[in-house]
Amino acid sequence: MDLRDKTGLLIDDMPEMRSAMRIQLTDAGLEKCDQARSIKEAIDRLKEKRYDLIVCDYNLGQGADGQQLLELVRRRNILPLSTAFMIVTGETGYEQVSTAAEYAPDDYLLKPFTADLLGTRLGRILDKKAALAPIYSQMGEKGDRTKALAACEALLANGGRYALDVLRLKGELLTALGRNEEALALYENVLQQRSTPWAEVGKARLLSLLGDDEEAKAHLQRALTAYPNYLAAYDSLSQLVEKTDKAAAQQIVEQALKVAPSTQRQRRLGGLALENKDFERAESAFRRAVEKDRTGFFKSHDDYSGLAKSCVEQGKTVEALTAVKDMGNAFARTPELEARQAAVECQVHVKSGNEAAAKLALEKALKVQQSAKLDASSALEIAQACFAGGRTEEAKAIIQSVAEDHNENDEVLAKAQGVFAQAGLEDEGTLFLDATKKRMIKLNNDAVAMAKAGQLDQAIEMLTEAADRLTNNAQIAINTAMALLMHVHRNGTSTDLAQTKRAHAYILQAQRANANHPRLTEISGLYRKVAPADAPPLEGI
Amino acid sequence: MPNQIDALVAAAIHDAKNALMALDTQLGEIERRPTSADFSAARATTGRIAGQLAELLTLYRAQGGQLRLAIDDHDLHDFIDDLLTELGPLPGNIQLDCNRDAADQLGAWAFDAYLVKLALLDALRNALRQARTHVALTLKAAPQGGLCFEVADDGPGFPAAILAGENTASAQGTGLGLSFARLIAERHATPAGKHGHVALANLPGANFKLTLP
């Protein structure tokens, strides 16, 4: 592999290390190489330009590391799968890098190394990226999973040295497409030949998706005795265990944190400890999340909110209010931030018995809520403040609209249930959320029944009303687009370009809400089939 | 275990001290008259000391319950390439035959490449010191399932005490390499409970087999 025509980005916070590394990269043949000194610079570079490869030091200073940067940019879709990511680390960082989290680097290299070795290793990961390019190109935000799967089949038919990598990607694709039985069969087939951590974890996920949580848990526990460094197994196990035993889930996250530090896992630990009323541990976990990341890229409003709550539960009102104030200093001013600060402040005042201040803060939070469409976490924080401040009806109204909007998002629904639980209304919360879920199902079913009965216009009206209100609900948006396209289909394609354009907009809305929604492929297929030639094209769904 | 580690530490320090003195002599030669053979010898010495210290560190961490293997898939051709590169130039009188046909069929295998490489480098260096003319590195699929690395030489073979399972220092070395290889073989395991192992034999030269599950 000739590196001469490749573009690279070198990320390291130490100037002398950067220039030494730059020389080695040049010696290895990589001439076109930009540099970044910090997380911020790296993200800016990645946003403006597409690189073939990233070489990143593990230790990036300011409490940041290469693994967390990798997770951040992959999750935010700033770094395409086709770009190779290599982490360079000293021997002491080796264990933390080689932990195979959900987003693992393509390779890691232990210092010191020669330019020859660097060149060999970069060449290898670029060769692999090139071989798998037909799959990757269909796996990104604008990809088509069915085409990615077809690319897997084509590569597997040719054999070749990357067969196991292709199988791994194929397993992920089948799982994402909801083809659970096929995915499980794939993992079991691989495991018959050999044991390997990704297939063990993949199998456990499928067992859970197919309804056997107990076997999934047992499987993951066995996997962890053999692969104690495999973070993805801890993450999957803690999520499964959390459904029934939050104290045990907390212990598993503790173990994962011993394997490698991560602000995201500190946050998860803090959240679980808070729910388990282990306030001291919650405080230390959130404090670590808040203090360790001095870049501001990895911590979130949740960390300050959790810190304030765990402090006030221990009677540390001053520390709690300081956390609220620090939240304001750590992030850019947005309605979400303002709402968060006010809602948490209200809860702190309620706990410490300062009714007047609590009321004032709650008014402020509600004012923000009325003037802006807030994200789910901030809205739920206000609901929690409403419960604390005795405004039960307002709390429920907010939760209802969040639950309707995020009807298919288990994480948000669990958070909503958590808000009820905090208010001592666990059973009521279960009923309330269940009823909301049923109402949404009924809405969708009614619309489908109406459409089938020929009342297409009424169905469209009902669905568009819901879709315009619930912009985060992919299912409603898809059904709305479906009804509109049925209308176009029934009346002949020539009649209504406006309807097609509306359908187009709802498909995009669904994609924004949940790019992984299993029905996106179906609806985009229908669109392509019935849309008139002059309709806007659908790209990459 | 603690006593055993203490004995290994003492033996390794002794060995490292001798190696450093040898290195000093080699560097003196290079200063006087640089030749690539002397450079190679010096690098082989530093490689050996660094490898032994890394092994000791791993044993220490295992003893303190701090050792966690990092198991992931590794392409076997790439792994052997890296192993041979790191081994460096061979002594002029010895030939190394490498049979890696099994890599084509197995493709990749899940193991801790860093630790397995340390163990195999040690075994190879040992074999190169003992061999008369030939060392063979063979990659095989193990009959019971698993991956087997075999290092064989045509030297005098292992001393009887080592073959009998004693972990003592001998004329052939400190015993550190074998302790290390056994530890990391045992630590490689599958969720089904299979573990790796090390097997030694004289055929009649020394034959070292590291099998990973």
Give A494's pLDDT tier (boundaries 50, 70, 90): low
Q: Which chain B positions have a beta carbon within 8 Å of A116's beta carbon?
A: 85
Contact B110 A228 (CB under 8 A): no
Mean pLDDT, range A429-440, rounded to an integer: 95
Q: Is B166 helix (H, G, I), strand (E, B) or coil?
A: coil
Which pLDDT value is given to residue B65?
Answer: 87
CA distance B142 to chain A (A): 12
Give A219's pLDDT tier (boundaries 50, 70, 90): very high
Q: Which chain B positions have a beta carbon within 8 Å of A91's beta carbon?
A: 54
Report the CATH number at residue A16: 3.40.50.2300
Does the structure show a pLDDT above 70 at B171? no
Mean pLDDT, range A399-413, rounded to an integer: 94
Please, which residues bridge with residue B207 across strands? B152, B201
The helix (run of H) or strand (run of E) holding residue B197 is strand B197-202
Show which of A89, A105, A136 is a domain's final residue: A136
Percent of chain A with pLDDT over 90: 79
B58-62 long-range contacts, CB within 8 A, separation 24+:
B58/B115, B58/B118, B58/B180, B58/B183, B58/B184, B59/B5, B59/B8, B59/B176, B59/B179, B59/B180, B59/B183, B60/B5, B62/B183, B62/B187
Mean pLDDT, range B188-203, rounded to an integer: 95
Could you tell me if A154 and A235 lie in one domain? yes
Report the CATH number at residue A213: 1.25.40.10
CA distances from A259 to A225, B59, B70 (A): 13, 18, 10
Comparing A347-361, B4-18, B122-136, the range with the smallest average pLDDT is B4-18
Could you tell me if A173 and A130 lie in one domain? no
Could you tell me if A105 and A195 lie in one domain? no
Contact B54 A91 (CB under 8 A): yes
H helices then E strands: how many in chain B?
Answer: 7, 7
Does the structure show a pLDDT above 80 at A143? no
Contact A124 B78 (CB under 8 A): yes
The DSSP symbol for A539 reads P
Q: Please spell the DSSP secondary structure of A152-188, one letter per residue.
A: HHHHHHT--TTHHHHHHHHHHHHHHTT-HHHHHHHHH
* Of the partner residues B78, B108, B213, the one whose CB lies closest to the CB of residue A195: B213
CA distances from A446 to A177, A456, A459, A479 (A): 26, 11, 8, 11
| Cα–Cα nearest to A27, from A114, A126, A90 | A114
**A&B contacts, CB < 8 Å:** 70
Please, which residues bridge with residue A9 across strands? A34, A54
| Cα–Cα nearest to A412, from A375, A442, A440 | A375
Q: Which residue has the tokens 């993805």?
A: A232
CA distance A229 to chain B (A): 6
| Cα–Cα nearest to A61, from A110, A12, A128 | A12
Would an 8 Å CB–CB cutoff place A431 in contact with chain B? no
The 10 Å Cβ neighbour count of residue A466 is 19
Mean pLDDT, range B53-78, rounded to an integer: 90
Cα–Cα distance for residue pair A95/A325, rounded to 1 Å: 37
Would an 8 Å CB–CB cutoff place A120 in contact with chain B? yes
Give B141's pLDDT tier (boundaries 50, 70, 90): very high
Could you tell me if A1 and A125 lie in one domain? yes
The helix (run of H) or strand (run of E) holding residue B152 is strand B147-153
pLDDT, tens only, A506-528:
999 999 998 888 888 889 889 98
Cα–Cα distance for residue pair A170/A177, rounded to 1 Å: 10
> Is pLDDT larger for residue A527 or for residue A140?
A527
Cα–Cα distance for residue pair A414/B116, rounded to 1 Å: 44
CA distance B189 to chain A (A): 5
Give A142's pLDDT tier (boundaries 50, 70, 90): confident
Q: Which chain A positions have a beta carbon within 8 Å of B213's beta carbon?
A: 195
CA distance B21 to chain A (A): 24
Show which of A69, A104, A136 is a domain's final residue: A136
Q: Is B136 helix (H, G, I), strand (E, B) or coil?
A: strand
Q: Which residue has the tokens 């045990």?
A: A248
Mean pLDDT, range A36-46, rounded to an integer: 96
| Cα–Cα nearest to B8, from B185, B179, B184 | B179
Q: Does residue A111 sit within a domain?
A: yes
Contact A195 B191 (CB under 8 A): yes
Q: Which chain B positions have a beta carbon within 8 Å of A110's beta carbon?
A: 114
Which pLDDT value is given to residue A488?
Answer: 86
Mean pLDDT, range A226-249, rounded to an integer: 94
* Of the partner residues B70, B81, B189, the one whose CB lies closest to the CB of residue A98: B70
pLDDT, tens only, A23-33:
999 999 999 99
Could you tell me if A129 and A13 lie in one domain? yes
The mean of the pLDDT values for chain B is: 89
Q: Please spell the DSSP secondary structure of B79-124, one letter per residue.
A: HHHHHHHHH-SPPTT-EEEEE-HHHHHH-EEEE-HHHHHHHHHHHH
The 10 Å Cβ neighbour count of residue B194 is 17
Q: Does residue A329 sit within a domain?
A: no
Q: Does residue A472 sit within a domain?
A: yes
Q: Does residue A240 sit within a domain?
A: yes
Would an 8 Å CB–CB cutoff place A164 in contact with chain B? yes
Could you tell me if A81 and A211 lie in one domain? no
Give the distance from CA A398 to its chain's centroid: 23
Q: Does residue A364 sit within a domain?
A: no
Q: Does residue A71 sit within a domain?
A: yes
The helix (run of H) or strand (run of E) holding residue A484 is helix A474-490
Could you tell me if A60 and A191 lie in one domain? no
Please, which residues bridge with residue A99 across strands? none
H helices then E strands: how many in chain A?
Answer: 26, 5
Domain boundaries, position A97:
1-136
The helix (run of H) or strand (run of E) holding residue A88 is strand A84-89
Q: Which chain A positions have a beta carbon within 8 Å of B68's beta carbon?
A: 95, 228-229, 259
Does the structure show a pLDDT above 60 at B104? yes
> Hey, CA dihedral for A420, A425, A428, A431, is it positive or negative?
positive
Cα–Cα distance for residue pair A117/B84, rounded to 1 Å: 12
End-to-end CA distance of chain A: 33
Domain boundaries, position B76:
2-212
Which pLDDT value is given to residue A492?
Answer: 67
Q: Longest Cα pair distance anywhere in chain B, in angstroms?
A: 59
CA distance A212 to chain B (A): 18
Q: Which chain A positions have a beta carbon within 8 Å of B107's beta carbon?
A: 161, 163-164
Q: Does residue A475 sit within a domain?
A: yes
| Cα–Cα nearest to A132, from A105, A170, A97 | A170
pLDDT, tens only, B4-60:
777 888 888 888 888 888 898 889 888 888 888 888 888 888 888 889 888 998 998
Cα–Cα distance for residue pair A1/A499, rounded to 1 Å: 51
Mutate to test the interface with B, among A191, A194, A230 (most CBs of B within 10 A): A194
Number of separate domains in chain A: 3
ipTM: 0.87
What amino acid occupies position B37?
A: A
Cα–Cα distance for residue pair A178/A480, rounded to 1 Å: 22
Could you tell me if A31 and A161 lie in one domain? no
Q: Does residue A339 sit within a domain?
A: no
Could you tell me if A126 and A218 lie in one domain? no
Does the structure show a pLDDT above 80 at B165? no
Q: Which residue of chain B comes nearest to A100, CA vs CA?
A: B72
Does the structure show a pLDDT above 90 at A133? yes
Mean pLDDT, range A67-84, rounded to an integer: 92
Number of separate domains in chain B: 1
A269-306 b/e (C-beta count within 10 Å ≥ 16 → b) = bbbbbbbbebbebbbbbbbbbbebbebebbbbbbbbbb
Q: Which residue of chain B comes nearest to A109, CA vs CA?
A: B114
| Cα–Cα nearest to B70, from B81, B60, B58, B82 | B58
Q: Which chain A positions have a beta carbon within 8 Å of B189's beta carbon?
A: 225-226
The helix (run of H) or strand (run of E) holding residue B5 is helix B2-32
Could you tell me if A20 and A115 lie in one domain? yes
Show which of A84, A115, A136 is a domain's final residue: A136
Give the distance from CA A170 to its chain's centroid: 20
* Of the partner residues B70, B75, B82, the one whose CB lies closest to the CB of residue A99: B70
Mean pLDDT, range A438-443, rounded to an integer: 93
Are the C-beta atoms of B178 and B155 separated by less than 8 Å? Answer: no
Chain B positions touching chain A (beta carbons under 8 Å): 54, 68-73, 75, 77-78, 81-82, 85, 107-110, 112, 114, 145, 189-192, 194, 213
Does the structure show a pLDDT above 70 at B173? no
Give A140's pLDDT tier (boundaries 50, 70, 90): confident
Could you tell me if A152 and A129 lie in one domain? no
Q: Is B134 helix (H, G, I), strand (E, B) or coil?
A: strand
The helix (run of H) or strand (run of E) holding residue A89 is strand A84-89
Helix A263-275 vs helix A301-313: crossing angle, to nearest 10: 40
Could you tell me if A117 and A150 lie in one domain? no
List helix spans (H) across A453-473. Answer: 456-469
Maximum mean pLDDT: which of A380-384, A498-502, A520-524: A380-384
Which pLDDT value is given to residue B98?
Answer: 97
Q: Which chain A positions have a beta carbon within 8 Å of B69's beta carbon?
A: 227-229
Mean pLDDT, range A135-151, rounded to an integer: 87
Report the CATH number at residue B142: 3.30.565.10
Which pLDDT value is given to residue B13?
Answer: 84
Which pLDDT value is given to residue A454?
Answer: 84
Token couple for A70: 């990798």
